[in-house]
């Protein structure tokens, strides 16, 4: 029994030491986006996720804490965090989107459906990229690791 505890403790701290801690993205709220855009047009990154999706959590905790990513995104993007199942109405680019309940404490945000649906299907996580002309430039279905995301960002433009 003692041995097991020792092993458990050891692996616990072992896992701890492998983890990375870092700063995170400054998410722009949907309410503030209009003002921010009026001040300065920037490309947008919309991260569509849910609370129960663990690959989404992986992106939040890993990808969006990568120093290079954080730096690039905070400097030249507006990043929006879109929880697809949060029971709220949202305004995006002056248009209202509602939450459509499909049960008690469950439902979907219309905006997530509109932006995230690819080939008739919405999956999580999905990342949508707009350029500074507010045109949808890319949609990536699935979890992005930092180096994959970096490739998609127009860093050198």
Partner 1 sequence: MRKMYVLLAFLLAQISVLAQTGSIRGTVTVKGKPLEFGTAALKGTQYGTTTDEKGIFEIKNVKYGTYQLVISAIGYRNITKSVTISEAKFFQELTLQTEELENSLAEVVVTGTMKEVSKLDSPVPVEIYTPVFFKRNPVPNLFESLQNINGIRPQLNCNVCNTGDIHINGLEGPYTMIMIDGMPIVSGLSTVYGLSGIPSALIERVEIVKGPASTLYGSEAVGGLINVITKKPSSAPLVSADVMATSWAEFNTDLGIKYKLGEKAQALFGLNYFNFQRPTDKNGDGFTDITLQNRISLFNKFSFERKDNRLFTIGGRYVQENRWGGQTQWTPKYRGSNEIYAESIYTKRWEVIGAYQLPIKEKITFQFSANGHNQDSYYGNIPYNAQQYIGFGQFTWDKKAGERHDLLIGTALRYTFYDDNTPATAVDTKNAPSKIILPGIFAQDEIKLNVNNKLLLGLRYDYNSIHGNILTPRLNYKWTSTDKKNVMRLSFGNGYRVANVFTEDHAALTGARKVVFTEELKPERSWNGNLNYVRKFFLSNGSFVSLDGTAFYTFFNNRIIPDYLTDPNKIIYSNLNGNAVSRGISLNVDFSLTNGLKLMAGATAMNVFQREDDGSGKLVKMTQLLTEKFTGVWSVSYAFQRIGLSIDYTGNLYGPMKLPVLGPLDPRPTYSPWWSLQNIQLTKKFNSGLEIYGGVKNLLNFTPTKDAIARAFDPFDKQVTFDAAGQVVATPNNPYALTFDPSYVYAPNQGIRMFAGVRYNLFK
Angstrom CA distances, 68 to 71, 76, 106, stand at 5, 12, 36
Give the containing element (helix H, strand E) for 83.
strand 78-83
| DSSP conformational letter for 147 | H
Contact set for partner 1, span 38-97 (CB under 8 A): 38, 41, 52-58, 60-62, 87, 89, 92-95
Give every CB contact of residue 89 below 8 A, 6+ residues apart in sequence.
96, 97, 98, 99
Under the binding rule (CB under 8 A), the answer on residue 3 touching partner 1 is no
Nearest to 71 by CA among 24, 32, 28, 29: 24
Smallest separation (angstroms) from partner 1 to the CB of 71: 18
Give the whole-angstrom CA distance, residue 148 versus residue 151: 5
Smallest separation (angstroms) from partner 1 to the CB of 2: 16
Of the candidate residues 3, 39, 75, 121, the single one contacting partner 1 (CB under 8 A): 121
**How many residues sit in the footprint of partner 1 (CB under 8 A)?**
70
Smallest separation (angstroms) from partner 1 to the CB of 139: 5
Residues that bind partner 1 (CB under 8 A): 12, 15-16, 18-21, 37-38, 41, 52-58, 60-62, 87, 89, 92-95, 98-108, 110, 112-115, 117-125, 128, 131-145, 148, 151-152
């Amino acid at each position: 029994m003692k041995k097991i505890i020792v092993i458990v403790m050891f692996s616990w701290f072992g896992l701890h030491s492998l983890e990375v801690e870092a700063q995170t993205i400054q998410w722009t709220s949907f309410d503030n986006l209009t003002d921010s855009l009026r001040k300065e047009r920037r490309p947008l990154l919309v991260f569509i996720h849910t609370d129960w999706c663990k690959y989404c959590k992986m992106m939040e905790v890993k990808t969006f804490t990568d120093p290079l990513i954080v730096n690039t995104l905070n400097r030249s993007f507006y990043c929006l965090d879109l929880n697809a199942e949060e029971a709220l109405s949202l305004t995006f680019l002056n248009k209202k989107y509602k939450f459509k309940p499909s049960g008690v404490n469950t439902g979907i945000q219309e905006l997530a459906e509109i932006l995230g649906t690819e080939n008739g299907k919405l999956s999580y996580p999905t990342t949508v990229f707009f350029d500074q002309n507010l045109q949808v430039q890319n949609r990536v279905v699935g979890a992005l690791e930092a180096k994959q995301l970096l490739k998609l960002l127009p860093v050198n433009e």
